[in-house]
Amino acid sequence: MLTSPLLRKYCSSKGPAFKGANSKNSSCWEGKVKVGTKPSPSGTGETVNNCMSPEAAKKFRAKKNKK
């Protein structure tokens, strides 16, 4: 039996409530760099970080600067 409120919160079958990551409350993975934001793929209207490897980010920025 889970009697502690913290145990119930973090060890319940549902798990803690995850509100979703967006560009305001998350960062890029280790080894990736942020090159801006993009619309959320889930279509919720929020933005998410556009994270790329350093090599891809360099190419992306060079291509964007040519326009």
Domain of residue 33 covers: 22-66
The residues facing 20 across adjacent strands are: none
pLDDT at 65 over 90: no
15 assigned to some structural domain = no
Each residue's pLDDT tens digit, 8-40: 666 655 555 556 678 888 889 999 999 999 998
7 assigned to some structural domain = no
How confident is the model at residue 19, as a pLDDT?
A: 64
27 assigned to some structural domain = yes
The count of domains in the chain is 1
pLDDT at 59 over 70: yes
- Over residues 37-49, mean pLDDT: 88
* Residue pointed to by tokens 């990551």: 21
State the average pLDDT for the chain.
80
